[in-house]
Structure formats: C-alpha cells, structure tokens
Amino acid sequence: MSDQISLFPEENKTNYQQINLPHSDIKFYPQFLDSVTSDNIFEKLKQEINWQQEYIKIYGKENPVPRLTAWYGDRGYSYTYSGITMNPESWTETLLLIKHKIETIANVKFNSVLLNFYRDGNDGVAWHSDDEKELGKNPVIGSVSFGGKRRFSFKSRDKTESQKYDLNLGNGDFLLMKGETQSYWYHQIPKTKKTVFPRINLTFRVIYP
C-alpha cells in the first residue's frame, strides 16, 4: 500500500485520483486498505456493530430505511439524520484503527462515524448532501467501504445543470470529500437489480456541538 510509487508525495505517499467536478474537492483512494485487511474488517464490523433498523415518517407513515445504520463516536455529540436523532455508541478498536489511518490523510480529527450496512441491491441511500448544520460549513467527510462493490453517484444540486459523475466503491476504497462539495453536489447509492454482495460503508465526520 504505502510502498507504491506515489504520484502525489505530498499526500502521505498514498495514491489518489482527484475527481474533477466544479465546486468540489473529492479525492478517491482506490484500495486504500488491502483486500485481506478489508475482508477482516468487514466480518468484524458485521458482527460487532450494533446495527439498527431505523424508520422515517413520510406523509405520516413509518417507512423502514433501506439499509441498517449505526452511529459511533465521542461521547456527547448527538446527531440528527433524516429526522432521526442518534446518540453515539462508544468507539470500537476496529473503528479507531480505521479512523486513525484516514486522519493522517484527511488532516482532521474525526469525532463520529455514521455506519451503513447495505444487505443487498434493495438497500441504498437516496440523493442527499451531508450538509446537516452540526457538520458546519464545508465539512470534511471520510468514507471507507468494505465488502461488495456499489455504484456511488454525484449530481449537481443546481437544477439547471445536468452534470453527473459515477464512481464504483469497492472493498477497502477511501473517498474523501471536502471544501464546497456538499453545498454543490448530491450523492446517492442507487438500488440495483443486479446481484451484489453485502456492503458496509463508514462515513467519518466532524460534528460541532
């Protein structure tokens, strides 16, 4: 991993691809974690995380969120996501290991992580931006994926623009979103009819009280 020839030595000898969308700062680090490590982390997280089935009210009707979720982090930072307020569970060793690894690249200290478990192609996340006010202006979001590969799409928040960008996020891939990205772009994990393996995604965040 870190002994690969680096195209960007200033970024900690880890190769990345800059995703070139206007008003964004998106860096993609394919296979940031090697596949054996990532397989182990997937199994570990599947077992140890306190996965929840959450519900959101749409027109007065409770609907299951199409994925399992969990929220871990420093004590005292609660978080509201799609109308659900979550209190964080305490960091596990596995989560801290990943957190420390990406903090050296992202140059921030993350204090929380939202976890998503996509069981199959019927699970996904609809178009949204990670722009909740507790994330502050221009949030840094560190996203690490494990297990099955899924499509991750960006589309402009400006309805007069039609720009879209698709990426595949696979086992051990790291995606770092910074700057104006959340103000100008939506993202989603579309549901798919294709057969896909279960996938776990972690989005590390900095929450301001």
| Amino acid (one-letter) located at 67 | R
**Integer Cα distance of 66 and 119 in angstroms:** 9
By CB under 5 A, residue 130 contacts Fe ion: yes
**Integer Cα distance of 52 and 65 in angstroms:** 10
Binding-residue pattern over the window 73 to 102 for ligand AKG, x denoting contact by CB under 6 A: ------------------------------
What is the DSSP secondary-structure string of 124-167? -EEEE-S--GGG-SS--EEEEEEES-EEEEEEESSTT---EEEE
Return the one option of ligand AKG, Fe ion, none that residue 201 interacts with (CB less than 5 to 8 A, by type): ligand AKG
DSSP 8-state symbol, 16: -
By CB under 6 A, residue 120 contacts ligand AKG: no
Q: Which of residues 15 and 179 has its CB atom nearest to Fe ion in the complex? A: 179
Q: For residue 158, what are the contacts with CB-CB under 8 A and spacing of at least 6? A: 184
Which of 143, 171, 181, 182 touches ligand AKG by CB under 6 A? Answer: 143
Distances (CA, A) of 75 to 28, 87, 120, 130: 30, 8, 32, 21
Which of 19, 65, 102, 169 touches ligand AKG by CB under 6 A? Answer: 169
Return the one option of ligand AKG, Fe ion, none that residue 182 interacts with (CB less than 5 to 8 A, by type): none
Least separation in angstroms between residue 5's CB and ligand AKG is: 28
DSSP 8-state symbol, 11: G
Number of residues that bind ligand AKG (CB under 6 A): 12
Which of 154, 185, 203, 204 touches ligand AKG by CB under 6 A? Answer: 203
Least separation in angstroms between residue 128's CB and ligand AKG is: 7
Three-state secondary-structure class, residue 53? coil
| Amino acid (one-letter) located at 44 | K
By CB under 5 A, residue 131 contacts Fe ion: no
Biggest alpha carbon–alpha carbon distance for the chain: 55
Least separation in angstroms between residue 203's CB and Fe ion is: 6
Residues of this chain that interact with ligand AKG (CB under 6 A) are 114, 116, 125, 130, 143, 145, 152, 169, 187, 189, 201, 203
